[in-house]
Amino acid sequence: MKVYNDINAWLSMRKELSTHLSLGVVMTMGALHEGHLSLMRQSKQENDRTLVTIFVNPTQFDNKNDLQKYPKTWESDCDLLQQVEIDYLLAPRVSHIYPAHDYFYMNENHFSQQLCGLSRPNHFQGVLTIVLKLLNLAQAQRAYFGEKDYQQAKLIQKMTQCFFLPTQIILHPTIRDPDGLALSSRNTRLSETGREKATFFARLLKTEKSVLNMKHQLELEGIQVDYLEEIGQHRFGAVWIEDIRLIDNCAKP
Ligand code: PAF
């Protein structure tokens, strides 16, 4: 696996990559788990080469504490990437991605203002900005995102359509542990009791109970609900457990 911290070194390599070879990209903030690996395996199946990016994007964290506490596991991430036989890893420096006096951001003013956007102001602005930058750097044929972050994935898909970006956005179903909890880098920060509560939330979301009833049950378990909503045929939830914000979604049962 070739590792690039320098954007220009990556771009020179990208220029030299034969136009006959297709490239797939999987964007991550590190702390890799099976959810990320399944995206990478799909990319490897569908493309000649796969690029993974690791960049803990500061502009999508509304809370400095959350950014500081975000798990950083560089060594084990690199081991996993080697095991999956990833071709290229791009891990750019923050100052290269956001140079001084860079005042450009990508905004969406509708869906990004709902659900997670309500309690995390500017979060999707940060996500769409970094994804646009990384899509332009990667110049990939395909980019892979998990449906666990459904709102994010749909916004990215819409952005590429609206701006006629050439990369095809491919969504991958949520990967769950056998107990039903959606894999997330944040799960590692949960205590045993916290994890039980998180599993309760994941299971409850898929039941036929009404939104009101679910909220009530979560509160009885001492779980703070950020939102629980149904939009169209989809159900979305976000909760706080031990100061950790967890999200999940599913088709409306
Ligand atoms: O889903 C994530 O890990 C991040 O939001 C992404 C897409 C890598 C952008 O920083």
pLDDT tens per residue, the chain (253 residues)?
999 999 999 999 999 999 999 999 999 999 999 999 999 999 999 999 999 999 999 999 988 888 998 999 999 999 999 999 999 999 999 999 999 999 999 999 999 999 999 999 999 999 999 999 999 999 999 999 999 999 999 999 999 999 999 999 999 999 999 999 999 999 999 999 999 999 999 999 999 999 999 999 999 999 999 999 999 999 999 999 999 999 999 999 9
The answer to whether residues 39 and 131 belong to one domain is yes
In the numeric block, which tokens belong to residue 25?
């990209």
The confidence score (pLDDT) of residue 122 equals: 96
Q: Which domain-ending residue is among 150, 172, 194?
A: 172
Nearest-CA residue for atom 9 of ligand 1: 127
CATH classification of the domain holding 218: 3.30.1300.10
| CB distance 27 to ligand 1 below 6 Å | yes
Choose the residue to mutate in 40, 51, 56, 131 for probing ligand 1, maximizing ligand atoms within 8 Å of C-beta. 131
In the numeric block, which tokens belong to residue 188?
């590692």
In the numeric block, which tokens belong to residue 54?
């690791």
In the numeric block, which tokens belong to residue 50?
């796969």
The confidence score (pLDDT) of residue 216 equals: 98
The confidence score (pLDDT) of residue 61 equals: 95
* pTM of the full structure: 0.96
The confidence score (pLDDT) of residue 63 equals: 86
The answer to whether residues 162 and 241 belong to one domain is no
In the numeric block, which tokens belong to residue 102?
């860079």
The answer to whether residues 123 and 231 belong to one domain is no
Q: Which domain-ending residue is among 172, 201, 217?
A: 172
Which of 20, 33, 36, 123 is labelled catalytic? 36
Name 136's Cβ contacts closer than 8 Å, sequence gap at least 6: none
| CB distance 130 to ligand 1 below 6 Å | yes
Which ligand 1 atom sits closest to the C-alpha of 56?
A: 10
| CB distance 28 to ligand 1 below 6 Å | yes
The confidence score (pLDDT) of residue 107 equals: 97
| CB distance 127 to ligand 1 below 6 Å | yes
In single-letter form, the type of residue at position 197 comes to K
Q: Which domain holds residue 204?
A: 185-248
Nearest-CA residue for atom 5 of ligand 1: 127
Residue 218 lies in a domain: yes
The answer to whether residues 164 and 189 belong to one domain is no
CATH classification of the domain holding 167: 3.40.50.620
Place of tokens 């140079």: 99
The answer to whether residues 39 and 154 belong to one domain is yes
The answer to whether residues 159 and 199 belong to one domain is no
| CB distance 149 to ligand 1 below 6 Å | yes
Q: Is 36 a catalytic residue?
A: yes
The confidence score (pLDDT) of residue 161 equals: 98
Residue 101 lies in a domain: yes
Which ligand 1 atom sits closest to the C-alpha of 127?
A: 9
The confidence score (pLDDT) of residue 66 equals: 87
